[in-house]
Amino acid sequence: MADVSIHGLAKSFGPVDILRDINLTVEDGEFVVFVGPSGCGKSTLLRIIAGLESVSAGEIRIGGRRVNELPPADRKIAMVFQSYALYPHMSVYKNMAFGLKFAKTDKAEADRRVRQAAEILKLSALLDRKPRELSGGQRQRVAIGRAIVRKPSVFLFDEPLSNLDAALRVNTRIEIAKLHQELGATMIYVTHDQVEAMTLASKIVVLNHGRIEQVGAPLDLYRRPCNVFVAGFIGSPRMNFIKGEVRGISNQSVTIGFAGAEMKVDLSGKDLAVGDMVTVGIRPEHMAEQGADAIALEGRVDAVERLGEASYVYMKLASQDDVVVRAPGEAHIAAGDLFKAYFSPRSTHVFDAEGRSLRMDVKP
């Protein structure tokens, strides 16, 4: 078992910077998820940790040991690929035992480990099959088995669920979470799906344009996003953003006008001046059809998405802002209706003109 620490890491392909100034510590036994939109550099970062890509600058340590110059096999890591990358000409057994052959593991010990991993992953009956005879979920388990048998300090997962269908994805997600509990190993997991990130991670790393935007526990990121990007990326449907303006600043609170409404929020106003432009963020689930809360936004309903347990109401305000509200599943709302959404100022997020959160309890 080992921790992973990354200092001042940068990677560029020719003139293109893929990653810039990455500093990150992954504690021993932690489940860290790299999440971000495609092209943000999350897979490259994972491949750098694996040793499949070189770095342009910076240092990587696994278990306290500098690994920059070590080949992948000597880093005590194992990787699960998006495409599973099973050797199509080898049986399940040989696929899992392949790495052990090069680690010079004793034959009997290798056999024991493969069978044990097969047991854990319910693959025992399939050991003689070729990958093409397996279903997607089974292939996925073989890929995980191939990682387990090597007893790595760090598991690396590169979008391992994106080739599975929705139902299987949920199952496998739970399997991976269980696996993490059983093995207690350090795991680093890359995904573009924020639901996977929220459900699996003990720590989420949000990446965008080759930079780390924020690092924190899932609920921390959800409650206290440090900027507009993280606020919009974490949570589904995404947070509503409405342009607003600072109307007044007093001790410990700021009055903001937006979309025809006005609210007083507890913010430090020291970096603000009256007339500054801000962005107000409200999550769809923090708005309700009715409520005692003071603030309301009124608009015309464009569309209603009914999911059963909830309905998403898409409405357009008089200020032309689009707002999504999570309403109860049975709400009697139809497109074309006038709709009023209530929310508490305490559940809003306020971002300055550069997109940084102005809330006092937020740390990047």
Partner 1 sequence: MSTTSFETTAPLVAAPARSRLPLHIVVFLAPALLIYSIFSIYPLVDTIRLSFYAGDQTGAQHFAGLDNFRMLLSDPTWSGQFWNALRNNLFFFGVHMVVQNGIGLGLAMLLSLPRLTGGSVYRTLIFLPTMLSVVIIGFVWQLMLNPLWGIAPSLLKAVGLGSFFGPWLGQESTALITISLISVWQFVGIPMMLIYAALINIPDDLLDAATVDGAGPFSVFWFVRLPLILPTLGVVSILTFVANFNAFDLIYAVKGALAGPNFSTDILGTFFYRTFFGYQLQVGSPTMGATVATAMLIVILIGVLIYLFGIQRRLQRHTF
Question: Least CB distance from residue 29 to partner 1, whole Å?
Answer: 21
Give dist(CA 32, CA 6) in Å, integer. Answer: 13
Question: Least CB distance from residue 57 to partner 1, whole Å?
Answer: 20
Q: Which of 10/90 has CB closer to partner 1?
A: 90
Rounded CA Rg of the chain: 24
Question: Least CB distance from residue 343 to partner 1, whole Å?
Answer: 46
**Buried/exposed code over 111-136 (b: 16+ C-beta within 10 A; e: otherwise):** eebbbebbebbebeebbeebbeebee
Under the phi-then-psi rule, with left for phi > 0, alpha for psi from -120 to 50, and beta for the rest, what region is 275?
Answer: left
* Phi then psi dihedrals of residue 2, to 5 deg: -160, 160
Q: Which of 83/252 has CB closer to partner 1?
A: 83
Question: Least CB distance from residue 118 to partner 1, whole Å?
Answer: 17
Question: Least CB distance from residue 99 to partner 1, whole Å?
Answer: 4
Question: Least CB distance from residue 38 to partner 1, whole Å?
Answer: 17
Q: Which of 94/316 has CB closer to partner 1?
A: 94
Question: Least CB distance from residue 85 to partner 1, whole Å?
Answer: 4
Question: Least CB distance from residue 113 to partner 1, whole Å?
Answer: 14
Q: Which of 187/261 has CB closer to partner 1?
A: 187
- Look up residue 119 and give its amino acid: E
Give dist(CA 316, CA 297) in Å, integer. Answer: 10
Binding site for partner 1 (CB under 8 A): 47, 50-52, 71-73, 77-79, 81-83, 85-89, 98-99, 102-103, 132, 146, 150
DSSP string, 196-245: HHHHH-SEEEEEETTEEEEEE-HHHHHHS-SBHHHHHHSSSSPPEEEEEE
Q: Which of 90/296 has CB closer to partner 1?
A: 90
Q: Which of 56/82 has CB closer to partner 1?
A: 82
- Look up residue 348 and give its amino acid: T
Question: Least CB distance from residue 314 to partner 1, whole Å?
Answer: 39
* Phi then psi dihedrals of residue 256, to 5 deg: -125, 135
| DSSP conformational letter for 179 | H
Q: Which of 115/130 has CB closer to partner 1?
A: 130
* Cβ count within 10 A of residue 304: 19
Q: Which of 56/319 has CB closer to partner 1?
A: 56
Instruction: Find the Cα–Cα–Cα–Cα dihedral 16, 17, 18, 20, rounded to 10°.
Output: 180
* Phi then psi dihedrals of residue 269, to 5 deg: -95, 15
Q: Yes or no: say if 303 and 260 are a contact pair by the CB < 8 Å rule.
A: no
Q: Which of 73/217 has CB closer to partner 1?
A: 73
**For the chain, the helix, strand and coil percentages under 3-state DSSP, each to the nearest 5:** 25, 35, 35
